[in-house]
Amino acid sequence: MMSVGSQVSMPQYLASQQQCTRAALSVPVCRQASRKVFRQQRCQRQVRRSAVHRQILCAANTAEQGKLISKVEIPAFIPRSDMSEQLFRWATAIGQDEGQANFGLPMRVVPNERGDGSPNGFTLDIVRDGVTVTTLAILFDDEISQKHEWVGRGADGFPTLEGKVSQILGKHLMIRKICEGVVDEEIRTAIRGFCEALVSALNKYYAFGSCFTDDTT
């Protein structure tokens, strides 16, 4: 999950990799190396997804006061503003509009912005009997990632990061409990359910560029 997490590919990146792969496969001596690289990358992504998923669920089960539930490094090529906007709309639909049905408690979702006005995730209030009992913040941190212009092919046939390097604000996407309220089993169940759904939305975004689609649409 963030498992959140796991670091997989956006369509533009995938397209670049596919172009590089086709070029590599046109050279017989590189064919086996290229195929091996992509098998290894696919396996690594699956392992990272599984590991982060377990980490988030474990943290969500405890949800201590002021607790950083989890954070996951987001690949630099993924546009932070677009991901933030999509996650906010997704959370509004699944949490604010249908929180009681989906997670057992009503929820309220508020967009978060950086100082320059750019979107940066959202906060999630979990409500019971009309009172906010827990608040989570889902947002990017202030660390920097380096983004390269393109993925090339080295002399050995393996992918290499090339071109101009850009500095991207927001290295990790975090889930943090930002209130001091006591978490009982009902609240913990709602947090865990929301985190599971969030991971699924992130994986859809990684694979398809949208939190609202999957391989059946």
Give me the half-sphere count of Cα atoms (radius 13 Å) on the Cβ side of residue 53.
15
Q: What is the mean pLDDT of residues 186-214?
A: 92
**Band of the pLDDT at 180, cuts 50, 70, 90?**
confident
pLDDT digits (tens, 9 = 90+) for 48-65: 455 455 555 555 554 454
Q: What is the 3-state secondary structure (H, E, C) of the chain?
A: CEEEECCCCCHHHHHHHHHHHHHHHCCHHHHHHHHHHHHHHHHHHHHHHHHHHHHHHHHHHHCCCCCEEEEEECCCCCCHHHHHHHHHHHHHHHHHCCHHHHHCCCEEEEEEECCCCCEEEEEEEEEECCEEEEEEEEEECCCEEEEEEEEEECCCCCEEEEEEEEEEECCEEEEEECCCCCCCHHHHHHHHHHHHHHHHHHHHHHHHCCCCCCCCC
Answer with the residue of higher pLDDT: 17 or 99.
Answer: 99
Closest CA to 72 of 199, 192, 167, 193: 199
Give pLDDT, residue 89.
97
Residue where the block lists tokens 């195929």: 35
How does the average pLDDT of the chain come out, rounded? Answer: 79
Phi, psi of 124 (to 5 degrees): -125, 115
CA 188 to chain centre: 21
**Band of the pLDDT at 10, cuts 50, 70, 90?**
very low
pTM summary value: 0.68
Give pLDDT, residue 118.
96
Query: In angstroms, rounded to a whole number, what is the distance separating the alpha carbons of residues 90 and 57?
Result: 20
Give me the half-sphere count of Cα atoms (radius 13 Å) on the Cβ side of residue 28.
0
| Res 173 pLDDT > 90 | yes
Phi, psi of 198 (to 5 degrees): -65, -40
pLDDT digits (tens, 9 = 90+) for 77-120: 999 999 999 999 999 999 999 999 999 999 999 999 999 999 99
Give pLDDT, residue 83.
97
